[in-house]
Chains A and B, each alone.
Chain A
Amino acid sequence: MNVQRFSYLATTLLVAFGAFASGAQSQSPTQSPTPSPSEGPTESDYLTRVRRLTFEGRRAGEGYFSPDGRIMVFQSERESGNPFYQIYELDMETGEGARISPGVGKTTCPFVRPGTGDVQYASTHLDPQSEELQRAELELRASGQERRYSWDYDPHMDIFVAPAGGGEPLRLTDAWGYDAEGSYSPDGEWIVFSSMRHAYDHELDPEDLARLEVNPSYFAEIYLMRADGSEQRRLTDAPGYDGGPFFFPDGSRIIWRRFDEEGLTANVYSMKPDGSDQRQLTDFGAMSWAPYVHPSGAYVFFASNKLGFGNFEIFIVDVEGTKEPVRVTFTDGFDGLPVPTPDGQQLAWTSTRHAGEGGQIYLGRWNHAAALAALEAAPPRVHNSTENPAHD
């Protein structure tokens, strides 16, 4: 659920897509036999049998698996007549798939409810202007212009649930303002999500009003609610965009990422489900986001552009953030939104390595043992002054 979680990156990302599609592809994918062992780690140390999973549509991403690993839900721009993301499921054994969102409006961030197979996602389909917006976007694209990809934090965005057996989506949130980026607790009883509702529930001072104009995600905070939408509560209260929350595999904590006030850098944090004990895991001084905990609970995947403004790569870091993160992808272009399969044996992520226009979901075998060994050997993290005081 993460392309959404970072609007500023949106422009960055597009630049990255473009740059790598056109030029800097000369460094061949790391699976080619070029790098010699003396040159250090390579992608194939961690990921093998890498292959593209999605082909249909302009772009696809944010693939998340049902607890048994059988179903992947994801977002893709593949609906005829709708240029925006809709939510789809894909049966990982048969390849059968179907759309599970209404087909109208914008959607994002699906997640399968453990135990029931319901799928929560965020959608704007109740906005009566949806079809008009779709037409306008299609016309813009037909005219040959490419709107720079940007997530607009549509205040119509609310969280819905598609029942496992089909039927009308159930609305879980109705606060004015962006509600999205939801994911379930391992027991299926809770949803943690990101919301900008508090930008609209009181009178903003002139400074905040200006912020809402140019940088609305500044107001995004992490919220928690029950799976039926009740008991909605706020967990974070820091300036800057808090988003992309997921529970740890044992449900004991929540991992998410927090942007600084200007939205220029981001870091990965974890906290208890009541919002206490907030700890910072990364400190690259870059955009480190899209965290997801490996099913073993031993480490966290995340993406960062530490190595170059447009070059996102996937890293892993121990759950305490005590070690220097370890880089695990080594291919030019965008690599991000890492999500392991529930058995921990494979990794799905979004990449532009095919040099296409937009990202698509890739899947590879994940070498858990190599990941543990690399983290074990990693040097301790160097703390710097930006460390969150909450950690100390």
Chain B
Amino acid sequence: MTSLPPKLPARLPVKLAVLALAVPAVLALLPTAAEASQESLRRHVTYLASDALDGRLTGTDGEARARDYLVAQLDELGVEPLPGAEGLVHPFEFTAGTKDAGSVLTLATDSTEEVFTGSETFQALSLSDNGSVTGEVVFAGYGLVLPESAEFGYDSYAGLDVEGKIVVALRYFPEAVDQETRAAFSRYSGLRFRALQARERGAKGLLLVTGPNSPNAGETIAMSFDSAIAGSGIIAASASGEVGDRLFSFVSGKTLAESQTALDDGNPHVAGFAIPGVRLTLDVRVERERRVGHNLVGVLPRNVAGEVDKPYVMIGAHYDHLGRGGGGNSLARKEEVGGIHHGADDNASGVAAVLEMVSGLAAMERRRDVIVALWSGEELGVLGSNAFVEEGTIAAADLAAYVNLDMVGRARDNKVALRAMGSSSIWPEVVERANVPVGLDLTEGEDPYLPTDTLTLNQAEVPSIDLFTGAHEDYHRPTDTADLINYEDLERIARFGTLVAANVINRDAAPDFLKVEPRTDSGGDRDSVRAFTGTIPDYTTEVEGLLLSGVIAGGPADEAGLQEGDVIVEFGGQKIANIYDYTYALDAVKIGEPVLVVLERDGERMEVTITPRARD
């Protein structure tokens, strides 16, 4: 270590030198304190994102190595086990994957019996219960039910008695409807939602067939990652088009294709029907691989005594990442597939910032205990934070607030997005005060329904705030590496986070919780959004339209010539004012069908055509 800060010029101008002498010693030390903090951040991120940690996939050795490192860091910072807990590690069980363990479909008439097996012919849905059910068969169209709140009425089960029967339905939703109708259907076409509808009507089983008019025609549905510990309360599977055709051979005067075509204009009056003379037995075996993930949670106890309303403030970041990207949400390019997903920004940056915040808070007065949470299982669907809230070691009702940092290492132009600010009325005041000395260019977002642990805490009615520096072209790719992190601004973000936390920690009254109404209904799930365009929205800038921070190389947007800085203002005839409009518009497009996109580039309006692909 040198005795002088490295950036000090050799010859100071006289005036500046006098000034430097005049300022209190603590101020003179500030630059070096910030630099030391940057060094710590760099050290944490560099280790967490190193090859040795193999991408920190929940429940793997990589996670274990990250855990060992972080437990040691937390120990050193004075973070103690929660009351009643033995250590900082809080394990939780989760389903790491599902596979079909030999499901069998039997089609029986009074005199015959046909057996279908093999994953290309008959395969469980990941969400299915295990078991065997036999029943008469009812064809229920697309098996869709739109709730009363939807734009229009649609109920595939209207007039059908499916009690105790096997429901056969088409996958997806009517194919030949206008975009607005598609968008509405799309929201309620998720597999879980459909399984629920069948179950609620008393069906014994649900068998989905991908119709000949749909993408992936005739194929069984791939067993997606599904993190649920248990099944959905119904036996559910998919079968090939060949099975569908065989079933429709019992229907007089209609083929499967004709039946689908009749439904494809979305007419709600095209009814389903019983398929006579045949019984189906769905013998479904789903094997769920159980693993254990590990949250790291502890407390930095308060150092000022006295009564406070709600004793805890929680700060957190997830430390897990994608491993080698096998879980389905990797965006690795072809040549990168199978590589270590380093996750430096996502979310070694947030973890490092939380450690620096703990270090900063440890030196301050604290009227509330600080709960420090480093989550695992976030990338698999915020499993860790959910498990912790359910575990109840700390009651959510005792948390005055939650500060989340997820992807805070790629600040550009001083910009940081604050999200979930609608969850309490105190945030504008807290943010204003915290940012005066730090000077970030902050943008505000109200919505707490975010794809990160903020979602969990918001659902537990904890006032939450979320710091984020935006998506980028290395997002969820092996190229998200430690050398690309902006450590200078990461240090400032950690300082800002420290001041935000300190403000809440030392307030008399705990913040109020405001419920933000979700912007979209939750009937859909990942299965319902099929279109892939390869655009990377910029979440940190508020412009009218959708500003792109980049495009995924080789994706449809890339092929169409879209680039960073473009603002999408119209997509498939729908005006795009924000990310929600865009998501909604995406719901409504058809795979493989060109969509006219109007965008603004350098102030000029341009029109391009994008051809969305199917999402894997």
Contacts and interface: CB of A to CB of B under 8 A. Distances in A.
Contacts of A90: 432, 436
A52 B443 CA distance: 8
Contacts of B433: 95-97
Instruction: Specify which of A57, A78, A95 lies most central, judged by the most chain B CB atoms within 10 Å of its CB.
Output: A95
Interface stretch (B165-173, B352-360, B542-550, B581-589): B542-550
B531 to A, nearest CB: 25
A52 B442 contact: yes
Contacts of B603: 27, 34-35
Interface string A26-70: 111101111110000000000001111111110000000000000
B441 A49 contact: yes
| Interface residue tally on A, bucketed by range | 20 to 34
Contact of B437 (A34, A54, A95): A95
B432 A26 contact: no
Contacts, number: 81
Contact of A53 (B429, B434, B436, B602): B436
Given A95-B432, A354-B542, A49 B602 contact: no
A26 B441 contact: no
A258 B265 CA distance: 67
Given A26-B569, A34-B603, A55 B428 contact: yes
Q: Which 9 A-B pairs have the closest CB atoms?
A: A95-B436, A95-B433, A25-B544, A55-B428, A51-B441, A55-B432, A56-B429, A56-B428, A34-B602
B492 to A, nearest CB: 12
Instruction: Specify which of A26, A36, A96, A97 lies most central, judged by the most chain B CB atoms within 10 Å of its CB.
Output: A26
A27 B414 CA distance: 20
A94 B444 CA distance: 21
Interface string A79-95: 00000000000111111
Nearest to A354: B542
B199 to A, nearest CB: 43
Contact of A31 (B413, B544, B547, B600): B413
Given A26-B543, A354-B542, A355-B542, A51 B436 contact: no
B437 A94 contact: yes
A24 B437 CA distance: 33
B432 A53 contact: yes
B435 interface: yes
B223 interface: no
B567 interface: yes
A56 B603 CA distance: 32
Given A26-B600, A55-B428, A50 B441 contact: yes
B499 interface: yes
Given A33-B565, A51-B435, 20 more contacts: A23-B544, A26-B543, A28-B547, A49-B439, A51-B414, A51-B439, A51-B440, A51-B441, A55-B427, A55-B428, A55-B435, A91-B436, A92-B437, A93-B437, A94-B437, A95-B433, A95-B436, A95-B437, A97-B432, A354-B542
17 contacts: A25-B543, A25-B544, A26-B567, A28-B547, A29-B541, A49-B414, A49-B439, A50-B441, A51-B439, A51-B440, A55-B429, A78-B429, A90-B436, A92-B437, A95-B436, A354-B443, A355-B542
Interface of A: 23, 25-29, 31-36, 49-57, 78, 90-97, 354-355, 363
Contacts of A23: 544
B417 interface: no
A96 B569 CA distance: 41
B408 to A, nearest CB: 17
A26 B544 contact: yes
B505 interface: no
B373 interface: no
A95 B414 contact: no
A29 B414 CA distance: 14
A95 B503 CA distance: 11
Nearest to B443: A354
Contacts of B137: none
B467 interface: no
B545 A26 contact: yes
Nearest to A49: B414
Nearest to A51: B441
A369 to B, nearest CB: 16
B396 interface: no
B294 to A, nearest CB: 37
Given A56-B432, A95-B437, A28 B567 contact: yes
Given A26-B567, A52-B441, A56-B429, A95 B547 contact: no
A289 B602 CA distance: 32
